[in-house]
Amino acid sequence: MKIWYLNHSGFAIECGNGCTLVFDFYNDTTQVLPSILARSSKVYVLVSHSHPDHFNERIFSWVDTYTNADFKFIISNELHRKLKRKPQARPLPDAYIPLRRGEVWNDTVISVNAFGSTDIGVSFVVTLADGSRIFHAGDLNNWHWSEESTPQEIKAAEGNYLAILRDIKAAFPSITLAMFPVDPRIGGDYPLGARQFVHTIEVEHFIPMHQWGDFEKSCQFELYRAYNGSYHCMHPGESITI
């Protein structure tokens, strides 16, 4: 598979046979996505939640622009509720699937498991036909502001996060590719959530995201990497093949 980093928490993954996954599209500053969609025949657009740095309503217009492809939109139920309440400039596409934590959707090409988040929405594990497992965290993280939070708040946040990790590990003890927030804005403990993730779940390839442009800190892999696995520092517009 070929992984393209769009920006922030947005990725496009070409899975082969014309299948493409797009996660949490926010913007595409280097404009790599149009050519990817133009050569795709089946596109799955996944949106973990409604925050504007993870969701752009422009995704729904792709159905009209890229008529070569069959689109399915797999979104958090939280986003679904907001869209239903908000007047839409254009009708929502028929081919969209809202998922809650614990729900699963599949067709003959992919299977999608929705897990919890420590913010709003969900995180996703997508299983491909060849058995590859792709994890996108959305805003799941140990949001651990040790300089600002009380000990009780830190304990509660960490307990919630570790409980979700246990749920993921119980279903998927190993992951082929994980895209996970490594956000330096948290402060001194910013690598903690990533370290706990890769030491709980066996990850073959890890890509940090949600770093708000601070690639130097998010890519200090020695601060959180596990003993095994490959770690990739990606900038917008770059791609890797695994």
Q: What confidence tens digit (pLDDT) does each residue in 24-76 have?
A: 999 999 999 999 999 999 999 999 999 999 999 999 999 999 999 999 999 99
CATH number at residue 108: 3.60.15.10
pLDDT value, residue 89: 61
pLDDT band at 146 (very low <50, low <70, confident <90, very high): low
pLDDT value, residue 66: 97
**pLDDT: is 88 or 182 the higher one?**
182
Q: What is the pTM of this model?
A: 0.96
Distance CA 156, CA 145 (A): 12
Residue 126 pLDDT > 90, yes or no?
yes
Residue 82 pLDDT > 70, yes or no?
yes
pLDDT-above-90 percentage for the chain: 86
CB atoms near residue 166 (< 10 Å): 11
Its domain, for residue 197, covers 2-241
pLDDT value, residue 69: 96
pLDDT value, residue 225: 97
Interior CA angle at 233 toward 232 and 239, to 5°?
Answer: 75
Distance CA 218, CA 239 (A): 17
Contact 20, 90 (CB under 8 A): no
Residue 125 pLDDT > 80, yes or no?
yes
Residue 58 backbone phi and psi in degrees, to 5: -60, -20
Residue 61 backbone phi and psi in degrees, to 5: -75, -15
User: Could you tell me where the beta strands, DSSP code E, fall in the chain?
Assistant: 2-7, 10-16, 19-23, 42-47, 70-76, 96-99, 104-106, 110-115, 123-128, 133-136, 174-181, 202-209, 230-231, 239-241
User: What letter would DSSP give residue 24?
Assistant: S
The domain total for the chain is: 1
SS3 at position 93: coil
pLDDT band at 5 (very low <50, low <70, confident <90, very high): very high
pLDDT band at 2 (very low <50, low <70, confident <90, very high): very high
Q: Look at residues 193, 205, 229, 237 and name the one whose alpha carbon lies nearest to residue 132.
A: 205
Residue 95 pLDDT > 90, yes or no?
no
pLDDT band at 94 (very low <50, low <70, confident <90, very high): confident
